[in-house]
Structure formats: C-alpha cells, structure tokens
A and B are shown apart, each in its own frame.
Chain A
Amino acid sequence: MNDTHSVIPAFVTLAAALCTLLVAQPAVALVCLLVVAAVWKWDGMRARNTAVNEAEANAQPGTEAYDAERVELLHGASTQTIRQLQGDMVQIRELIRSAVAELGSSFDGFHADAQTQKSLMDEAVRTLANGSSEAGAGRDGGDSVTISKFVRDTSSVLQGFVDNAITASKRGMDIVNMIDTMNTQMTEIFELLGDVKGIADQTNLLALNAAIEAARAGEAGRGFAVVADEVRKLSLNSAHFNEQIRAQVENAQSTMHSTRKLVGDSASMDMSMLLTHKSSIDGMMKHLSSLESSLNGLIGQTSGLTAQIAERSSNAVRALQFEDIVRQVAEHGEKELGRLENLVETGVARWSSHALDESVEQLRQAAAALREMQPRKPAHQATMSEGDIELF
C-alpha cells in the first residue's frame, strides 16, 4: 500500500512542478492543470472501482502486480491525453493560421477598395468643381458642357432675347411716331388740295363770266369765247386731277394706317411667357446651387469616411500579427507537452525498475533540470492591445 500511495503523489508532484515551470505561460499551464486534474480524478475513480471490484481483481492490493497495473493504466491515460492535447494544439494553430490568412487578404482588399473609392470621390469633387465655379469652366476653355453652364447660357440667351425684344419695340414705336408725323403731313396735303380746288372752281367761274362777256360782244368776241371755253376746260381738268391726287393721298394714308398697325403688332410681345421662363430658369439655378453644395458636403464626408476605413483596415492588418505570437505560443506548448510525456515515461520506467524510492527525488531533479533547459518564453503579452507588436 505504501508504494501505491507514493506513486500518485509522484505524478501530482511532477505535474505541479511542470505547472510551476510554465506558470507564466498561460496556455501550457492550463494544459498541465487539465492533465493533473484528469489524472487525479482518474486515480480517484480507479481507487473506488478497485475497492468495489477488489474480489474480482486479478491482483490484490498491496501486491506489486496491483501497483504495476495502476501505474500502467495511469501511464496509458496520461500519454493518450497528452497526445490528444498535442493534436488539438496543432489543429488550433492551423485554424488560426488559415483564418488569419483569409482575414489578412480581406483587409488588404478593404484597404485597396477604400483607396479606389477615395480616388473616385476626388474625381467627383473635381468634376463638380469644374461644373460649378467660373474658374473651373475657364480652365477647361469652356469646352465641357455641364448642367449649370447650360443653365447659365440659357439664362443669358433669354436675357439677350428680352433685350432684343425691347430694342425692337423701341424702334417700332419710333417708326410709329414717324408714321404719325407723316400722317399729320398728309392731312396738310389735303388742306393744300382744298386750296387748289378753290382756285380751280374760281377759274371755272371766271371762264364762265368771260364766255358770257364774249357772247355779249357778238362777232368781235367770238375768238375770246373760244379762249374762255379752253380756260374752263382747264379748270375742270385741274379739279379732276385734284380729286385724283386726293384719292391717291387717301390711299397712301390708308396704307400708312395698316403699316402703323403692323409695326405696332410686331412691337407688342406678351412678356408673361418670358417671365415664366425666366422664373423657371432662376428656380433651376437655385436648385442646382443647393444641389451642388449638398453634394460637395456629402462627398467631403464620404471622403473622410473612406480615409477612416483605410486607416482602420491598416490597424486590423497590424493586429492580425497576433497569429505569429499565437503560433509560437502553441509550438511552445506542444514542446512542453512532449517533455511532459517524456517525464511520464521516465517516471514509469524508474518505477518498473524498482527505483521508485529515489524516483520522487529524481523527478524533482529532472524537473529542476527541465527548468534549466527552459527556453526563452515566446511572448509576454496577454492581449493584442498591449503596445506595439513584438516580433521574434
């Protein structure tokens, strides 16, 4: 029984020693604790089972065969657990490696996309600036057609149209003034024609009187009668021409009246249509400028966000270097597990060769030797946010 009891504490002491060794190495320390706990529990269970099945056991307690069986069972269980843990470590390492590789390329993609987005935004800002500012339009030589330039042009065309219409109206009104003046002058012609008609009438009357006087003179007045008759004919002709002239001037006056109306009509343009166009263009300009300013604001914000995204993805890529540390920690843990296995093998071998009396002390020495052999700890960091990444 003494031997049996000394075996289990030997394992515990061994495990505890290893834990002490590895206490600054949390991952491996955890593994050790697990191993110790497993062995301890297994031993307890085994002890109980042994007690229950004592009658059936091949080996009796207190015998060497009994102890050998217990040691063999413990040996098998711890070796299996250690190998499983080693496998788990390898799997964790591999999983983290592939996930980190995937994350790294994703973040690189993020970064590249953010850069592309930023340059697109810069391009958009430049385009907008060209479209909105006079300086931009001038730099492009005015060749590029933008909406705001189009609206400006339309506005100036409309203003030119208004100015032309007013100038034309002014000229039309001047022409109408002249027509009115001519009309007045023609009215004066009518008065003159009236005077001419008076003269013709008087001449006619005069010729008639002359004819009467010629008839009274008898044979001596015969020649004078012919003259008087000719004068009367002339006066009638004169009256006739007078009428013709009056009729022609009346025609001219009527033509001038029509002309006046035509000129007046062409000078009269409804301004309300122009007003509608002008106000809609003004509204469009106002809308465009507000659109431009809000677009500029939005693009500025987006540009800032893009820069932020780029910076954050850079940070993320930097943070992914933790994979390196974790890998080294895991490798270290695997090595430690290997040592643990060796130690168990050594302990079992010594016990088998009846060297158990010294074995506890020797195990302590072996642990001390291990401590001497302890390689440099791979990493001190507990979290990634602890300062800069330490590469080794």
Chain B
Amino acid sequence: MSISTQTSGDGQTLTIRVQDRFDFNVHRDLRQAYEAAGKRFGNYVLDLRGTTYMDSAALGMLLQLREHAGGKRQAVRLTNAQPVIRDILAVANFDQLFTIE
C-alpha cells in the first residue's frame, strides 16, 4: 500500500506518507486516510519523501485535503519533496496554498 498514516503523540497532527506514484490510483486510500478518523486534525503533514511522480490529479487531491483541513495555508504541510516534485508544486504556485518544507 502506497499510503501510510501516523498520528502524533498529542493526536493533533496526522502524517500521511505517499510512496512512489502519487496519482489517481491512490485517491480512495488517501481519502480514507484522512477521513477514517472521523474528525479534523489541527495539522496535516504530507510526507513526500518517497514520492517519485505526481500528476494533476494529485494536485487536485492536495486541494481536497486542504479543503478538508479548513482551507488555511498553515493547515497542510508538504515535506521532504524531491526536486522534480518541488518543480511541479512551483509550477502550480502551491507555495501560496501550502506550507512547503
């Protein structure tokens, strides 16, 4: 499974790790990953360390996650993105919508 989750000790932050290809095929798993808890976390971290590919569907899913998280720039953090993924995020101007680390 290319999606794995981890909840922080204080239960405030949900970290989702996307492995390999981040595209339409992970949609259902990703949605389940952040909706399964049945509540909204204060912070969401999308760890892109193992992500090697990202298409426009993935960008749409990120926007959905942002919407789910409340629509604030600080609510979703995109971390450890590789250069090619960083370029895609830059082309999409996502640095204005997300906290990219």
Query: A180–B91 contact, CB under 8 A?
Result: no
A185 → chain B, closest Cβ, in Å?
A: 16
A169 and B60 contact, Cβ closer than 8 Å, known pairs A180-B31, A264-B24, A271-B54: yes
Taking the complex as formed, is A269 at the interface, i.e. its CB lies under 8 A from any CB of chain B?
yes
Query: B60–A271 contact, CB under 8 A?
Result: no
When C-beta atoms are compared, the residue in chain B nearest to A166 turns out to be: B59
A171–B84 Cα distance when bound, in Å, is 25
CB-CB under 8 A from A172, the residues of chain B are 57, 60
Query: B88–A271 contact, CB under 8 A?
Result: yes
A265, A268, A270, A275: the one contacting B91 at CB < 8 Å is: A275
A281–B55 Cα distance when bound, in Å, is 21
Query: A271–B24 contact, CB under 8 A?
Result: no
B27, B31, B54, B56: the one contacting A165 at CB < 8 Å is: B56
B54, B57, B84, B92: the one contacting A267 at CB < 8 Å is: B57
A176 and B54 contact, Cβ closer than 8 Å, known pairs A166-B59, A166-B60, A275-B87: no
Taking the complex as formed, is A174 at the interface, i.e. its CB lies under 8 A from any CB of chain B?
yes
Query: B87–A264 contact, CB under 8 A?
Result: no
A271 and B57 contact, Cβ closer than 8 Å, known pairs A166-B63, A177-B64, A278-B91: no
Query: A264–B92 contact, CB under 8 A?
Result: no
Taking the complex as formed, is A274 at the interface, i.e. its CB lies under 8 A from any CB of chain B?
yes
Q: Which residues of B contact A (CB under 8 A)?
A: 23-24, 27-28, 31, 54-57, 59-61, 63-64, 84, 87-88, 91-93
Residue pairs across A and B with Cβ atoms less than 8 A apart, 30 shown, are A165-B56, A166-B56, A166-B63, A166-B92, A168-B56, A169-B57, A169-B60, A170-B60, A172-B60, A173-B27, A173-B57, A173-B60, A173-B63, A173-B64, A177-B64, A180-B28, A180-B31, A264-B24, A267-B24, A267-B56, A267-B60, A268-B55, A269-B57, A270-B55, A271-B55, A271-B88, A272-B84, A275-B87, A275-B88, A275-B91
Query: B56–A269 contact, CB under 8 A?
Result: yes
A166–B54 Cα distance when bound, in Å, is 12
Query: A169–B31 contact, CB under 8 A?
Result: no
Q: Beyond the given A169-B56, A180-B31, please list 10 additional residue pairs across the A-B interface where CB-CB is below 8 A.
A: A159-B93, A166-B56, A166-B92, A169-B59, A170-B60, A173-B64, A264-B57, A270-B55, A271-B54, A271-B56
Q: Which 10 A-B pairs have the closest CB atoms?
A: A169-B60, A264-B24, A269-B56, A268-B57, A170-B60, A173-B60, A169-B56, A170-B63, A267-B57, A271-B88
Interface SS of A by simple majority: helix
CB-CB under 8 A from A270, the residues of chain B are 55-56
Interface size of A by CB at 8 A reads: 26
B76 → chain A, closest Cβ, in Å?
A: 14
A339 → chain B, closest Cβ, in Å?
A: 97
Taking the complex as formed, is A162 at the interface, i.e. its CB lies under 8 A from any CB of chain B?
yes
Interface SS of B by simple majority: helix
When C-beta atoms are compared, the residue in chain A nearest to B97 turns out to be: A166
A219 → chain B, closest Cβ, in Å?
A: 65
A126 → chain B, closest Cβ, in Å?
A: 35
A270–B22 Cα distance when bound, in Å, is 11
CB-CB under 8 A from A163, the residues of chain B are 93
A170, A268, A269, A274: the one contacting B64 at CB < 8 Å is: A170
Query: A268–B23 contact, CB under 8 A?
Result: yes
- For A202-239 the 0/1 string (1 means CB < 8 A from B) is 00000000000000000000000000000000000000
A269 and B55 contact, Cβ closer than 8 Å, known pairs A170-B64, A278-B91: yes
Tell me the A240-271 residues at the B interface (CB within 8 Å): 264-265, 267-271
B61 → chain A, closest Cβ, in Å?
A: 6
Looking at A162, A163, A268, the one whose CB has the most chain B CB atoms below 10 A away is: A268
B56, B92, B93: the one contacting A268 at CB < 8 Å is: B56
Query: B59–A265 contact, CB under 8 A?
Result: no
CB-CB under 8 A from B93, the residues of chain A are 159, 163
A147–B93 Cα distance when bound, in Å, is 25
A385 → chain B, closest Cβ, in Å?
A: 67
- For A174-192 the 0/1 string (1 means CB < 8 A from B) is 1011001000000000000
Query: A162–B92 contact, CB under 8 A?
Result: yes
CB-CB under 8 A from A267, the residues of chain B are 24, 56-57, 60
B28 → chain A, closest Cβ, in Å?
A: 7
B87 → chain A, closest Cβ, in Å?
A: 5
A270–B54 Cα distance when bound, in Å, is 8
